[in-house]
Chain A
Amino acid sequence: MDRRTFLKLSSLGGATAALSACDKSGKLRGQMIRFIPEERLVPGVAIWKTSLCRQCCSGCGLEVRVMEGEAVVTRHGQRGLMQMGLAKKLEGNPEHPVNRGKLCARGHAGLQVTYNPDRIRFPLRRTGPRGSGQYRQVGWDEAVTELSTRLGSISSQGKAGSVAFLTRALRDQRGVLVQRFLAAYGAPPAVRFEFFDDAVLRRANYLSFGRYQLPTFDLARANYVISFGADFLSTWNSVVAQNRGYGAMRQGRPGLRGKFVQVEARMSPTGANADEWVYAKPGSEGLLAVSLAQVMLSERLRPAEAAREAGARIEGWTQGLSDYSPEKVQDQTGVAAARIRRLARELAAHRPAVAIVAGVPLAQTNGLANALAVNALNALLDAVENPGGIFFTPRPPLAYLPSVEESSSAKSLAERILNNPVPIEALLVYEANPVFASPATWHVRETLEKIPFIASFGSFIDETSILADLILPDHSHLESWVDHVPESGSTTAVASVAAPAMLPLHHTRAMPDVLLDVAHRLGPKLDPVESALPWKSYQEMLQSAFEPLRNHAGSVKAQKADDFWSQVQQNGGWWSEQSDPPPKAPATAERSATVVKVAQPELDGDARDYPFNFLPYASQQFGDGSHANLPWMQEMPDVISTAMWSTWVEINPRTAERLSIRQGDLVEVRSQHGTLQAPALLAPGIAPDVVAMPVGQGHEQYGRYASGRGANPIKILCARVEPETGALAWAATRVNIRRVGTRGKLVLFGGALRESPRNYRYR
């Protein structure tokens, strides 16, 4: 009710107004007690606190705008109102080397993680059957006691090895803490699971350049950028850093504008920016890269030796790659020979030129060969660790460094949990959701359901945490101590750290502090707990981890340990002044013996029954689906389709015409392993024999905004892998499509006239 509604009601002749739901809570508010604030802020005046983004693995620095506000909080088991500093807006930290004051869409939406209405407010214990979502509130002491008792009794039975910790790649001290906890307890290292895990590229970079990490691109100084399937301006790798470089590459140098060529089969948001968009058959990108190299070698545009080690990984390199001439690969790749020649000449003539590879080319059975081929092309162009090329971020000299994951997600999940001959007795889950992000053929849910005890540190009920017996909700990233060691995005070593930007809203506790508490309760059952986990809190651990940085030339110069620590927090971290490349892994016989033949990929399914190559892709809004519970992300129009709150199947308009499919029609997508239904989106930028779908929707359990919305393309994927890394070949599935109805749920922001009922495409 407000003056507007009043006006409406009074002119209608009066009506009685019902109290809205909010009014009731407003009355409740009046009766609530008010706590004495734990911090004093000047009302109406914003203060800025440094923090770190944890929405993806890039690790951008944040500045949080904090203002005083009144929140309903729980203190000493009592609910009441408190004046407290509330995060109002996130901005990039201008000093941070990765993002330099900039922030992406998903980073902004990090606020809605903290304020999400579906956040679990207190520890929970399961009361109903598994998966029912029936829980009761327990106190923190009870919850931690239960977890430590469970772990203690498993350890007493001598089964410590059957405890598994499932998480994502943790590039911070949390990773170190988990590792040390598991080692002291006697359990195997943590299983790291992410759907888009880049294990193939890390392996290729190790084989080609001796670096087990993702590259950093110096786009700002490049004159020519060729990207093979990489969505590097929207979802892949250090997106903000890459966008910064891209802007400078286009218009940052007076009189010089770099050219950008994208090679792919479905136009990605990144590909849409290309000066030249090249269609190549999915999985044949490696052939194209080698063919470009062949032209440069045969026309003596570049010396073969320039490729050094990276060239030696490719079969036939020293012989001039005669099997890969443009004429020989043009049918396999779908790119005309003349075009390959022209691109090769342009690349060689307009150095510094850099090649990028990620996404579909690597998610194939020949993924490693594709990555090695592009690496060799980069080396041939002299783009490795040269201005305008690729770099590798050095690691900061912290006291403890998180280990680099060498195994692929799919392989470690399969070996350690799904096909483990030793049955898992207890599973701890933190920031991983394999039940959602795995093909149905893996039967992850069925395997997890058999585990006698599952504890989750999740902030939300999702497909995996709903199986948990005990939920110990974590703080949000704005409420906890955060730190990060970026894998890429900077040419200098970076160690970010920040104190909580605001007090916790709910009755939650930070995962690392809970783990330390459990460790100390287990005490004698852990191997040497004093030496492995000597810290009382995570904050103490961070301080001791950062202590050695004081003796290195970096962004913070302070003599005293306390001054150093407070300045590091104020700046949002420490960054080195030197930009020496990280040390190379020593050449091993295994590495030098690796020589791959670049060939076509193998696809799952017969081409006659399943004529379309099915390409799931990381969505601009939700990444791998972990941001689907944020309303800003749901309502942000996808830049290519302008779709909101939806999933869709991208189909070429000509293919659609042939199959009598119109925009918004409900389409069934069938692979050998399952079917799903989603509305059709006619996308001019997709090949006629390819259909694509964004990953991220189709959650069964993920709060009120994501649950039961759209379809999950991961479920119908085949279980084929890239043989050497065991990474899931998620682009290797063939499907068939057919129209099953006229009314798919497709909500588009663009295209339809506003408020014109004829254009509704809803239900």
Chain B
Amino acid sequence: MKHGVSAFLVAIAVGGVASILLPFLVSGYVDGNRQSASPSYVTSGKCSASQMSFLAGAKEYFGIYPASVRQPIAFPHKIHVKNGMPCETCHAGVDEGQQAAIPGAAVCMTCHQVIATNKPEIKKLASYYRKGEEVPWRRVYWFYPSAHVDFWHGPHIRAGVECQSCHGDMRKETVAVRKAGLNMGFCVNCHRSRHVSTDCTTCHY
């Protein structure tokens, strides 16, 4: 009996792998890119669903996200939180839509026109702003495209989920680092404990 089950599973696995590989091997899995020499006054280039190096592909496959990213300015979250600024002040729209906004230079400069203008990091910020450039912040929290996840902040905040449940205690942090793994287990555990839908299409579509 047990052997029968495992043989069946092996058969499924072999069949599954074979069915993935066969089309690749038989051809057909050619990249649909038609390279054409277009003149310089029109746009060239292709954008495709997945566009990474082998290493990045491997990371995506195993669901490994970088824990920390190097930011252009060493932004201290803890100072801002300590001064009594709620998260929504800068991460505007977080209660409305899917993503939270990453504040632009213009938002920072509303205060930093006058506050702490002599600090080296603020000088960096001001120099971006003077050139009419945005601070090239890098995203800390995101999902790989192959996660096929559509996450909305709004409903979570309305349900009373604290920001720190997923993003860590920002009272102690300088630049943000990815605290929670934010993998599917993390999400489903919380959904289960709060008795909300764990149907796949709640998040994956």
Direct contact of A and B (CB under 8 A): yes
- Chain A interface residues (CB < 8 Å from chain B): 1-12, 16-17, 19-23, 25-26, 33-37, 40, 42-45, 80, 82-83, 117-122, 124, 133, 135, 137, 461, 703-704
Q: Are B133 and A23 in contact (CB under 8 A)?
A: no
Query: Is the CB of B93 closer than 8 A to any CB of chain A?
Result: yes
Please give, as numbers and ranges, the residues of chain B lying within 8 Å of A25 by CB-CB distance: 45, 47
**Within the assembled complex, what's the spacing in Å between the Cα atoms of A19 and B60?**
16
Please give, as numbers and ranges, the residues of chain A lying within 8 Å of B144 by CB-CB distance: 3
User: Chain B's nearest CB lies how many Å from the CB of A173?
Assistant: 29
Please give, as numbers and ranges, the residues of chain B lying within 8 Å of A33 by CB-CB distance: 133
User: Which residue of A22, A122, A137 is within 8 Å of B45 (Cβ)?
Assistant: A22
User: Chain A's nearest CB lies how many Å from the CB of B141?
Assistant: 13
Closest to A23 in B: B51
Q: Are A6 and B98 in contact (CB under 8 A)?
A: no
Query: Is the CB of B20 closer than 8 A to any CB of chain A?
Result: yes
Q: Are B42 and A83 in contact (CB under 8 A)?
A: no
Q: Are B61 and A119 in contact (CB under 8 A)?
A: no
Q: Are B47 and A117 in contact (CB under 8 A)?
A: no
1/0 contact trace for B103-128 toward A, CB 8 Å?
Answer: 01110000000000000000000000
In B122-165, the 8 Å CB interface with A consists of 129, 132-136, 144-146, 152
**Within the assembled complex, what's the spacing in Å between the Cα atoms of A703 and B44?**
12
In B47-62, the 8 Å CB interface with A consists of 47-54, 56-58, 60-61
Pick the most buried of A4, A10, A19: most chain B CB atoms within 10 A of its CB.
A4
Query: Is the CB of B21 closer than 8 A to any CB of chain A?
Result: yes
Please give, as numbers and ranges, the residues of chain B lying within 8 Å of A19 by CB-CB distance: 53
Closest to A122 in B: B41
User: Which residue of B17, B20, B42, B105 is within 8 Å of A121 (Cβ)?
Assistant: B42
User: Which residue of A11, A35, A83, A119 is within 8 Å of B17 (Cβ)?
Assistant: A11
Q: Are A37 and B24 in contact (CB under 8 A)?
A: no
User: Which residue of B21, B92, B132 is within 8 Å of A35 (Cβ)?
Assistant: B132
Please give, as numbers and ranges, the residues of chain A lying within 8 Å of B152 by CB-CB distance: 44
Q: Are B99 and A44 in contact (CB under 8 A)?
A: yes
Q: Are B49 and A2 in contact (CB under 8 A)?
A: yes
Given A2-B50, A6-B60, 13 more A-B residue pairs with CB atoms under 8 Å apart are: A1-B54, A1-B56, A3-B144, A11-B21, A17-B54, A33-B133, A34-B136, A35-B132, A35-B133, A37-B104, A45-B93, A118-B42, A121-B42
Query: Known contacts being A120-B42, A124-B41, is A3 close to B96, with CB within 8 Å?
Result: no
User: Chain A's nearest CB lies how many Å from the CB of B157?
Assistant: 13
Instruction: Place the interface of chain B in its size category.
Output: 35 or more
Closest to A2 in B: B50
Q: Are B46 and A36 in contact (CB under 8 A)?
A: no
Pick the most buried of B38, B46, B54, B105: most chain A CB atoms within 10 A of its CB.
B54
Q: Are A8 and B21 in contact (CB under 8 A)?
A: yes
Q: Are A1 and B51 in contact (CB under 8 A)?
A: yes
Q: Are A5 and B50 in contact (CB under 8 A)?
A: yes
Please give, as numbers and ranges, the residues of chain A lying within 8 Å of B105 by CB-CB distance: 36
User: Which residue of B39, B134, B145 is within 8 Å of A133 (Cβ)?
Assistant: B39
Query: Is the CB of B19 closer than 8 A to any CB of chain A?
Result: no
Pick the most buried of A1, A40, A45: most chain B CB atoms within 10 A of its CB.
A1
Please give, as numbers and ranges, the residues of chain A lying within 8 Å of B39 by CB-CB distance: 133, 135
User: Chain B's nearest CB lies how many Å from the CB of A751?
Assistant: 21
**Within the assembled complex, what's the spacing in Å between the Cα atoms of A254 and B97?**
43
Query: Is the CB of B87 closer than 8 A to any CB of chain A?
Result: no
Q: Are A43 and B50 in contact (CB under 8 A)?
A: no
**Within the assembled complex, what's the spacing in Å between the Cα atoms of A44 and B152?**
9
User: Chain A's nearest CB lies how many Å from the CB of B113?
Assistant: 15
Please give, as numbers and ranges, the residues of chain A lying within 8 Å of B20 by CB-CB distance: 7-8
User: Chain A's nearest CB lies how many Å from the CB of B151?
Assistant: 9
Q: Are A1 and B41 in contact (CB under 8 A)?
A: no
User: Chain A's nearest CB lies how many Å from the CB of B54?
Assistant: 4
Query: Known contacts being A3-B146, A34-B136, is A23 close to B52, with CB within 8 Å?
Result: yes
Those 8 A-B pairs whose CB atoms lie nearest each other, nearest first: A2-B50, A42-B93, A44-B98, A44-B97, A3-B61, A17-B54, A34-B134, A45-B97
Please give, as numbers and ranges, the residues of chain A lying within 8 Å of B106 by CB-CB distance: 36
- Chain B interface residues (CB < 8 Å from chain A): 17, 20-21, 24, 33, 36, 38-54, 56-58, 60-61, 92-93, 96-101, 104-106, 129, 132-136, 144-146, 152
Q: Are A5 and B57 in contact (CB under 8 A)?
A: yes
Query: Known contacts being A22-B51, A117-B44, is A36 close to B133, with CB within 8 Å?
Result: yes
Q: Give the A-B pair count, Cβ closer than 8 A.
A: 127
Please give, as numbers and ranges, the residues of chain B lying within 8 Å of A703 by CB-CB distance: 42
Pick the most buried of B24, B42, B48, B49: most chain A CB atoms within 10 A of its CB.
B42
- Chain B contact residues, majority secondary structure: loop
Closest to A119 in B: B42
**Within the assembled complex, what's the spacing in Å between the Cα atoms of A704 and B35?**
10
Q: Are B93 and A43 in contact (CB under 8 A)?
A: yes
User: Which residue of B33, B41, B96, B132 is within 8 Å of A137 (Cβ)?
Assistant: B41
Q: Are B38 and A83 in contact (CB under 8 A)?
A: no
User: Which residue of A3, A23, A35, A704 is within 8 Å of B38 (Cβ)?
Assistant: A704
Please give, as numbers and ranges, the residues of chain B lying within 8 Å of A124 by CB-CB distance: 41
- Contacts A/B (CB < 8 Å), 29 sampled: A1-B52, A1-B54, A3-B60, A10-B58, A16-B54, A17-B53, A17-B54, A20-B48, A21-B33, A22-B45, A22-B46, A22-B47, A22-B48, A37-B104, A37-B134, A42-B97, A44-B93, A44-B97, A45-B96, A45-B97, A80-B133, A117-B42, A117-B43, A118-B38, A119-B42, A133-B39, A137-B40, A704-B36, A704-B38
Q: Are B57 and A1 in contact (CB under 8 A)?
A: yes
User: Which residue of B40, B133, B136, B145 is within 8 Å of A2 (Cβ)?
Assistant: B145
Q: Are A121 and B43 in contact (CB under 8 A)?
A: yes
**Within the assembled complex, what's the spacing in Å between the Cα atoms of A34 and B52?**
22
Q: Are A4 and B52 in contact (CB under 8 A)?
A: no
User: Chain A's nearest CB lies how many Å from the CB of B83?
Assistant: 23
Closest to A32 in B: B136
User: Which residue of B48, B58, B101, B134 is within 8 Å of A36 (Cβ)?
Assistant: B134
Closest to B40 in A: A137
Q: Are A8 and B53 in contact (CB under 8 A)?
A: no
Please give, as numbers and ranges, the residues of chain B lying within 8 Å of A135 by CB-CB distance: 39, 41
Q: Are B51 and A34 in contact (CB under 8 A)?
A: no
**Within the assembled complex, what's the spacing in Å between the Cα atoms of A4 and B20?**
9
Please give, as numbers and ranges, the residues of chain B lying within 8 Å of A9 by CB-CB distance: 54
Closest to B63 in A: A3
Closest to A123 in B: B41
Please give, as numbers and ranges, the residues of chain A lying within 8 Å of B101 by CB-CB distance: 42-43
Closest to A505 in B: B43
Q: Are A43 and B99 in contact (CB under 8 A)?
A: yes
Please give, as numbers and ranges, the residues of chain B lying within 8 Å of A7 by CB-CB distance: 20, 61
Closest to A755 in B: B28
User: Chain A's nearest CB lies how many Å from the CB of B168?
Assistant: 21
Please give, as numbers and ranges, the residues of chain B lying within 8 Å of A117 by CB-CB distance: 38, 42-44
Please give, as numbers and ranges, the residues of chain A lying within 8 Å of B21 by CB-CB distance: 8, 11-12
Q: Are A6 and B54 in contact (CB under 8 A)?
A: yes
Please give, as numbers and ranges, the residues of chain B lying within 8 Å of A37 by CB-CB distance: 104, 134
Please give, as numbers and ranges, the residues of chain B lying within 8 Å of A44 by CB-CB distance: 93, 97-99, 152
Q: Are A2 and B146 in contact (CB under 8 A)?
A: yes
Please give, as numbers and ranges, the residues of chain B lying within 8 Å of A16 by CB-CB distance: 54
**Within the assembled complex, what's the spacing in Å between the Cα atoms of A445 and B139?**
54
Q: Are B38 and A43 in contact (CB under 8 A)?
A: no
User: Chain B's nearest CB lies how many Å from the CB of A244?
Assistant: 31
Please give, as numbers and ranges, the residues of chain A lying within 8 Å of B49 by CB-CB distance: 2
User: Chain B's nearest CB lies how many Å from the CB of A527?
Assistant: 36
Query: Known contacts being A21-B33, A42-B93, A44-B93, is A121 close to B41, with CB within 8 Å?
Result: yes
Closest to A133 in B: B39
